[in-house]
Structure 1
Amino acid sequence: MRRLFFCDVHLSPRETARTERFLRFLAREGPRADEIYILGDLFDYWIGPKHLRMPDYRGALEALSRLARERPIFFLIGNRDFYMSRGFQEATGVRVVPGRTEHCLSSGGKRVYLCHGEYLEGRTDRGFRIQEFIRSAGFERVFVRLPVCVARAMAEFYRWLSTRKPVRECRPCPAIVEAKFRQGADVIISGHFHDAAQQALCVDGRQALFITLADWAEGESYLVEEGGRWELRGGG
């Protein structure tokens, strides 16, 4: 079993070089994987079902759809592309994981916890409360009915708002990470922090592994798991 993990690609119509890099990556690494996990923020923003009919991400969606015919691809929503719907799953074959951007799987008898990572920060500030309101089901029902031009403008504003906090200030809260391990996780894999790292921990006398994935600002960054071994590649 070979599993492929990546996140924080932040595809954008403005970043054509990044899109081309991502398509080359999928063509090379995708067919070698038995399962693929996207841990959020694949897109710089996603305005809902209307985006499926727009040219912004057409190449990436078609590439993912081709891969999804031969292997399962799982998508955990991030803090930029959270209006993924059943329509996305039906159109591409990519399985959108429901709930608060987290998922568990088993590898070599170990429990692996996957998440985008924003909830590992433990934020309670005003910006986080705004984010939670925007992600609410009630707001989504209104947002997806807006004209495309209005939805785009709002998404661009939210994108700008979310970049006001420097990435270097985004860090996981050790207490929250340890709590996840105490709840039974042996391995935690997270995106969001834009930094590739592996940290071996000992929690209540038990060995644990915390892995964070980098973004794609400068290059490919991904994680491969095969036979219970974890290998970070690239590094942003």
Structure 2
Amino acid sequence: MTTLFIADLHLQQDAPELTRAFLNYLEYRARSADALYIMGDLFESWIGDDAISEFEQQVIEAMRRFSDSGKDLYVMHGNRDFLLGERFAELTGAVLIDDPAIITLSEDVPALLMHGDSLCTQDSEYMQFRAMTRDPEWQQKTLALPVEQRRLLADRMREGSGSANGSKSDDIMDVSQDAVEEIVQQYHVRTLIHGHTHRPDVHDFRLQDDEAVKRYVLGDWSDQKDKGWEIRLEDATLTLESFSLSELSGR
């Protein structure tokens, strides 16, 4: 079996080449996979399942073709598309999974999947924002707003995030090692896969009891850098790989 993991595509109407690359990814690069996990921030923003435009519809239809072909499709909320709901899952044929979620790499070998933003505990300002936006009552009130009002709110949030991040150090916006060690011990795993930070890498470290841990970090997709990232699971082996987006979008 082949399982793929991707994150942080940040699809948006103003980036058609990136969207085309994802549609072709589903049709070509992911064709041989048995399962695909999209681990947050598939969209740059999502203001509700009742606000699907032509742009979102083409993505939904491509995901539905993928799941209808017999593939397992899983979607995790990110910090940009935390309002993805059950209607979206129904339309795409995807399963919305919790953050964090545990999967099995091989017999009796678990791995923990996360978007990754909850590990950035040094960024206290963001952690307060995250607590607010993940609160069910806040989400219910937000979804009750008119669509145009939600769209303006999403725009303001993105602008505020960009402005705030510009004044923060790289260390503050990265994951906390203490938070990483705490979560892998809490869930009794020694493999962690996440995105969010846009810093693709494989980190090896040891816990206090000298147990070895691997942390796989997915990169974001960028049409400016012409690069996409995935983690491939085959024969119980995880591999972090990059690929050209222009080759996909040019098909």
Q: What TM-score do you get using the length of structure 2 for normalisation?
A: 0.87
Partners in 1 of 2:133 and 2:181 — Cα distance? 28
Kindly report which structure 2 residues correspond to 1:35-54, keeping only aligned pairs within 5 A, or say none.
Answer: 35-51=35-51, 53-54=52-53
| 3-state SS in 2 of match to 1:49 | coil
Shift of 1:129: 1.3
Q: Which residue of 1 aligns with 2:234?
A: 226
Shift of 1:125: 2.3
Partners in 1 of 2:181 and 2:130 — Cα distance? 25
| 3-state SS in 2 of match to 1:200 | strand
| 3-state SS in 2 of match to 1:75 | strand
1:173 equivalent to 2:181? Answer: no
Deviations 1:11-40 (A, max 9, x none): 000111111111121111222111111110
Kindly report which structure 2 residues correspond to 1:50-89, keeping only aligned pairs within 5 A, or say none.
Answer: 50-51=50-51, 53-69=52-68, 70-89=70-89
Percent identity of equivalent pairs? 25
More displaced stretch, 217-226 vs 122-131: 122-131
Partners in 2 of 1:200 and 1:11 — Cα distance? 31
Kindly report which structure 2 residues correspond to 1:1-236, keeping only aligned pairs within 5 A, or say none.
Answer: 1-51=1-51, 53-69=52-68, 70-98=70-98, 101-108=99-106, 109-123=108-122, 125-164=124-163, 165-166=165-166, 168-169=170-171, 170-183=173-186, 184-203=188-207, 204-217=209-222, 218=225, 219-234=227-242
Shift of 1:4: 0.3
More displaced stretch, 173-182 vs 32-41: 173-182
Q: What TM-score do you get using the length of structure 1 for normalisation?
A: 0.92
Partners in 1 of 2:211 and 2:123 — Cα distance? 30
After the TM superposition, which segments of 4 or more aligned residues of structure 1 sit over 4 Å from their partners?
Answer: none
Deviations 1:35-73 (A, max 9, x none): 11111000000011123x311322221111111121211
Shift of 1:227: 0.7
Aligned residues: 233
Partners in 1 of 2:205 and 2:237 — Cα distance? 16
More displaced stretch, 6-15 vs 56-65: 56-65
8 A contact 2:121–2:127 mirrored in 1: no
Unaligned ranges ≥5, structure 2: 245-251
8 A contact 1:25–1:220 mirrored in 2: no
Deviations 1:81-131 (A, max 9, x none): 001111111111110114xx2110111232100000011111462343133
Q: Which amino acid aligns with 2:162?
A: T
Partners in 1 of 2:125 and 2:200 — Cα distance? 28
Unaligned ranges ≥5, structure 1: none
Partners in 1 of 2:197 and 2:33 — Cα distance? 25
Q: Which amino acid aligns with 1:147?
A: P
